[in-house]
Structure 1
Amino acid sequence: MNTILRAALYQILKSLMRILYRKGVAFGEFTQLAKQAYVDVVEDELTSSGERATTTRIAVITGLTRKEVTQLRQAEITEVAPRFNRVLRVLNGWLHDANFLDREGQPAVLAFRGAEPSFEQLVQRYSGDMSSFAMLDEMKRVQLVDTVDEGAVRLLSATYIPDTDDEAQLQLLGSDVSLLVMTINHNLIVPSDERYYQRKVSYNNLPQEVLPAFRSFVRKDAHQLLLRFNQWLYQHDRDHSPEIQGTGRMQAGVGIYYFEQPMASKETSHED
């Protein structure tokens, strides 16, 4: 393995292992999943390139035995539908769908049911098969809504952030980290003019006292930027704007995250 790739992989795994350690995941479980993922990727790559994805071929590439490959190809990984996706769809509908906005273009206070528009109608339109009662309980739990006069529902926040101990945070681990890795992989194999946007800025000799102000600055400005991106994507997504023409079905988006960590030694400040 290339030395730089080995170092990069170690950094990724070390961060991941902290989560696995806290969640009590045995190393054997991790290695089994790693084997499963490798076999699935090799099979996908062979198939997409027009080659035969035989058990023997996969075994040769992965270094696993034919018996292991056979068992892994027969195994199924259960995918959990992220609950927070339904909440986000309802939230976006409330923020952008004219039927659920007031005269000032802001999210209207909605009767729970009966009157038009109602919270029940909003949930039916955007949440799939989740009941309006369950959605209300969930949105109350994460402090997105409250109820006012005669049970009407009022939106409290335009941002959904899962609880610290919520399973949604673990679902974000699977979706967000994989998307970042996919972006980096894309940028490694295409010409420079076809690379996806991938940038960060960081300095490594900052006093702790300035970080609260920087966190607040990032939270405010990054949120406003994401709201602008969200508005544009909403207007061009066929689920919300059926009149949009075009071919294929693509996912696109932008992720922003904050990071900080102590530095073990003095290094030169830099910007990436």
Structure 2
Amino acid sequence: MKKSETNPLHRALYRILRPMARLLLRNGIPFAEFAELVRRAYVDAALEDFSNNRKKPTDSSAAVMTGLTRKEVKRQREILAGEHAGGLDARHENRASRVVSGWVHDSAFQTSDGEPAELPFDGPLSFSELVKRYSGDMTPRAVLEELVRVGVVATDGSGKLTLRQRAYVPAGDSEEMLQIFGKDVSDLIATIDHNLVGSGENSQPLFQRTLVYNNIPPDVIVRWRQYAAEQSQSMLEQLDRWLGPHDRDIASQGEGGARGEAVRTGVGIFYFEDPVQPEIHGDQK
């Protein structure tokens, strides 16, 4: 048997790449385009994550690490420099999501008991003011149309706007869903990598747990899917109530507050469901 078939990391990588290949093919991404992105990721990781005494690797040392030529490392480094120069701030999250978060946590847009208030579209402490505060230059009408489209916000006969869900999730195979895919998978792999290599005295493992059963009858799945969604949403909302008010964009609103370098943190929950593949014992005739 080939070494690649017995190496535990290779087997784990194949399990990751198999569903990714399905997604790439469905979206018309050929292998050559994927390979180009892999080369870029290798160069980015070599140059940014393997510095020696805060000195970045040279193109030559990055070439040795990645197995690419120095010419290819230089080409990818120049592409990355252009992407980083023209890219958005990493802290700039989805604007519709930020509006919902502000509605949930900013006391100016809450009722006396701390729940999201019904808002008029215009005027002081209105939806338009909320969008201006948390979504930059996006127009209130555009944000409202999107939130109504995905069922997060509802309107009544008086024109008041009600928050129906405490989280914004884009619908369909939109660009935003693909951005979420990239962030979610990246965060999960970063957590696993931390737990694999972060075994030193001063390194605390990050929480990483999965609940799995592989012999559940089909008639249970519909009820389980609903129950898992309800409980997961409830847990995320509970965590959000604790952490959200500490976000400096919400807590300070330009009034200063806690100082120091910002940290990005969170907890991700996902549901999975696959048919169990039968085990094959012995030769099949």
Normalising to structure 2: TM-score of the pair? 0.86
Assess if the C-alpha contact under 8 Å between 1:84 and 1:168 holds in 2. Answer: no
Q: How much has 1:244 moved relative to structure 2?
A: 4.7
- Residues in 1 aligned to 2:112 and 2:260: alpha-carbon distance in whole angstroms: 35
Q: 1-side partners of 2:247 and 2:113: how far apart?
A: 24
Show structure 1 runs of 5+ residues with no match.
268-272
Deviation at 1:164, TM superposition (A): 2.2
Letter of the structure 1 residue corresponding to residue 264 of structure 2:
Q
Q: Does 1:197 align with 2:201?
A: no
Match of 2:185 among 170, 174, 177: 177
Q: Is the 8 A contact 1:205 1:266 kept in 2?
A: no
CA RMSD, aligned part only?
2.3
User: Do the aligned residues in 1 keep the contact of 2:117 with 2:162 (CA within 8 Å)?
Assistant: yes
Deviations 1:11-51 (A, max 9, x none): 10111101001001011000000000000100012336434
The answer to whether the aligner puts 1:37 opposite 2:41 as a matched pair is: yes
Letter aligned with residue 147 of structure 1? T
Counterpart residue number, 1:100: 109
- Tell me by how many angstroms 1:112 deviates: 0.8
Partner residue of 1:110 out of 119, 123, 129: 119
SS in 1 for 2:154: strand
Whether 1:258 and 2:257 are equivalent positions in the alignment is: no
From the superposition, tell whether residues 81 and 134 of structure 1 become closer, same or farther in structure 2 (CA, over 3 Å): farther
Shift of 1:165: 2.2
Task: Report the counterpart of residue 152 of structure 2 in structure 1.
Answer: 144
Match of 1:219 in 2: 229
Match of residue 16 from structure 1? 20
Residue of structure 2 aligned with 1:160, choices 168, 180, 189? 168
Q: Give CA-to-partner distance per residue, 1:86-118, whole Å, 9 cap, x none.
A: 11111111112121112343222211112x321
Separation in structure 2 between the aligned mates of residue 258 and residue 81 of structure 1, nearest angstrom:
30
Task: Verify the 8 A CA contact 1:123 1:135 in the aligned structure 2.
Answer: yes
Q: 1:74-93, CA deviations, whole angstroms, 9 ceiling, x for partnerless residues?
A: 11347578997211111111
In the TM superposition, what is the alpha-carbon distance from 1:245 to its structure 2 partner? 2.7
Q: Secondary structure at the match of 1:47?
A: coil
Distance 1:75 1:206 in 2: 49
- Give the percent of matched residue pairs that are identical in Structure 1 and Structure 2: 39
Matched residue, 1:228: 238
Q: Distance in 2 between matches of 1:219 and 1:202?
A: 15
Q: 1:252 to 1:48 in 2, by over 3 A?
A: farther
Change (3 A) 1:14 1:125: same
Letter matched to residue 220 of structure 1: E
Structure 2 unaligned blocks of 5 or more: 281-285
| Contact 1:236–1:244 under 8 Å retained in 2 | no
Instruction: Please say if residues 183 and 196 of structure 1, whose CA atoms lie closer than 8 Å, have aligned partners that are also in contact.
Output: yes
Q: Against the structure 1 CA distance between its residues 90 and 204, is the aligned structure 2 distance closer, same or farther, given a 3 Å change threshold?
A: same
Shift of 1:66: 1.6
Moved more, 243-252 or 10-19: 243-252
Secondary structure of the structure 2 residue equivalent to 1:170? helix
Matched, 1:238 2:248: yes
1:71 alignment partner AA? R
TM-score, scaled to structure 1: 0.90
